[in-house]
């Protein structure tokens, strides 16, 4: 099994291990499989927002954040107060997306994919590593048995990814509608569903990722479905071939997020790296930024022209010109930020390894103040 991990993944894991106690070991409890153990429902209202979160999104007017040990929280008052959702696993969750105000999906470690039909209040498990270890190899075994030997490398890879004690993470998930979705993760893992997540099939043969590099994120950008990941990998879905084709940037580091519109696309990564394209990835321009830490997440701000970035060093960078130039802003309570969501016209909701915060934009995309969520 390959042992390479992205620098951000290693950094995040180290921070988690250093900052979070092992409750089971500390209390002498026997091992409980996180795939069979519901998330702990013991955090108080203030304690919820001091936990480690990895992603945030919106479902209508509701905010939903996901984090470690199956923690999912939601807010109906613009982040002032939060409630904990009921989740059937204690696996770390790292991505979340909603298609409607009620239906959404989350993904994380142990190949977990969760689904909600009530705006994130309760979740059910659709997929995990144990199911993956059966379903994914079987798909390629059938192809090979029918005479398609070109599937052999993909069979070998899914077996490596799912056998033994492997904790395969799905790092990104995106549904284009209530039936069709794709999840991506480490070591080239990619699966797809066409029935709302009831069944998942491997797509390793439908992406130009021959080295099985880490796939960190999947987004809809304009009319394109785009994946970004390790070694400058960017992949755009081609409707004609039904597969993802490589449109690599001139960069050998990892991209951790990708954002844009019909007119531009930004890929962000290590040490403040930003590359920008105006032609769906055919050509790229390196963008100078005032931040030098790893850019962990990005989102559109204020319509089609604004972009906001957050970093592992707790910094913000804001653009008013579709990512051509950026200005640095300081968060009032910096931490290792993991995600950002825009709340109305003048606020940001930030997640990180030390909780959730709301940043007030006191001027148009300018200076920022901090409100602590309760």
Could you list the residue range(s) of the whole structural domain that residue 15 is in? 7-372
Instruction: List, as own/partner pairs, every contact residues 182-186 make where C-beta atoms lie below 8 angstroms and the sequence separation is at least 24, other chains included.
Output: 182/218, 182/225, 183/107, 183/113, 183/127, 183/218, 184/215, 184/216, 184/217, 184/218, 184/227, 184/229, 185/107, 185/111, 185/214, 185/215, 186/5, 186/9, 186/161, 186/214, 186/215
Q: Is residue 65 part of a domain?
A: yes
pLDDT value of position 88: 98
Q: Is residue 15 part of a domain?
A: yes
Cα–Cα distance, 265 to 282 (Å, whole number): 11
Number of domain units in the chain: 1
Q: Tell me the pTM.
A: 0.90
Cα–Cα distance, 172 to 228 (Å, whole number): 10
Q: What is the DSSP letter of 271?
A: G
Q: What are phi and psi of 55, to 5 degrees?
A: -160, 155
Q: Is residue 2 part of a domain?
A: no
> Of 170, 176, 214, which Cα lies nearest the Cα of 193?
176
Q: Is residue 128 part of a domain?
A: yes
Q: Is residue 254 part of a domain?
A: yes
Q: What is the DSSP letter of 78?
A: T
pLDDT value of position 31: 78
Q: Is residue 59 part of a domain?
A: yes
Cα–Cα distance, 279 to 33 (Å, whole number): 46
pLDDT value of position 332: 84
CATH of the domain at 337: 2.130.10.10
pLDDT value of position 370: 36
> Tens of pLDDT along the chain (374 residues)?
343 444 445 444 444 433 444 444 445 567 789 999 999 986 665 678 889 999 999 999 999 999 999 999 999 999 999 999 999 999 999 999 999 999 999 999 999 999 999 999 999 999 999 999 999 999 999 999 999 999 999 999 999 999 876 678 999 999 999 999 999 999 999 999 999 999 999 999 999 999 999 999 999 999 999 999 999 999 999 999 999 999 988 999 999 999 999 999 999 999 999 999 999 999 999 999 999 999 999 999 876 689 999 999 999 999 999 999 999 988 888 999 999 999 987 899 999 999 999 998 754 443 333 343 43
Cα–Cα distance, 277 to 259 (Å, whole number): 11
Q: Is residue 1 part of a domain?
A: no
Cα–Cα distance, 126 to 296 (Å, whole number): 27
Q: Is residue 347 part of a domain?
A: yes
pLDDT value of position 5: 41
């Amino acid at each position: 099994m390959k042992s390479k991990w992205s620098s951000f993944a290693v950094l995040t894991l180290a921070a988690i291990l250093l900052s979070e106690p092992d409750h089971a070991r500390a209390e002498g409890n026997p091992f409980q499989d996180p795939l069979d153990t519901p998330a702990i429902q013991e955090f108080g209202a203030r304690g919820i927002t001091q936990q480690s979160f990895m992603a945030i999104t919106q479902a209508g007017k509701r905010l939903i954040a996901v984090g470690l040990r199956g923690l999912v929280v939601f807010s109906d008052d613009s982040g002032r107060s939060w409630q904990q959702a009921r989740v059937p696993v204690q696996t770390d969750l790292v991505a979340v997306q909603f298609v409607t105000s009620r239906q959404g999906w989350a993904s994380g470690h142990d190949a977990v994919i969760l689904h909600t039909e009530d705006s994130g209040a309760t979740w059910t498990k659709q997929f995990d590593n144990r199911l993956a270890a059966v379903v994914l190899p079987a798909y390629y075994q059938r192809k090979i048995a029918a005479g398609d030997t070109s599937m052999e490398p993909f069979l070998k890879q899914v077996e490596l990814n799912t056998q033994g004690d492997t904790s395969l993470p799905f790092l990104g998930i995106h549904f284009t509608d209530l039936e069709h979705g794709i999840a991506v993760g480490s070591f080239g893992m990619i699966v797809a569903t066409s029935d709302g997540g009831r069944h998942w099939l491997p797509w390793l043969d439908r992406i130009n990722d021959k080295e099985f590099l880490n796939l960190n994120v999947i987004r809809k950008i304009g009319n394109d479905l785009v994946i970004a990941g390790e070694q400058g990998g960017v992949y755009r879905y081609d409707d004609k071939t039904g597969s993802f084709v490589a449109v690599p940037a001139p960069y050998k580091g990892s991209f951790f997020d990708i954002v844009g519109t019909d007119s531009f696309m930004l890929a962000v990564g290590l040490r403040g790296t930003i590359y920008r394209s105006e032609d769906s990835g055919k050509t790229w321009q390196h963008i100078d930024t005032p931040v030098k830490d790893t850019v962990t997440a990005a989102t559109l701000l204020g319509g089609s022209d604004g972009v906001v970035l957050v970093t592992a060093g707790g910094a913000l960078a804001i653009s008013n010109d579709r990512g051509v130039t950026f200005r640095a802003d300081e968060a009032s309570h910096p931490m290792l930020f993991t995600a950002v969501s825009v709340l109305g016209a003048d606020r940001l909701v930030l997640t990180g390894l030390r909780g959730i915060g709301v940043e007030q934009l006191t001027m148009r995309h300018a200076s920022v103040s901090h409100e602590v969520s309760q």
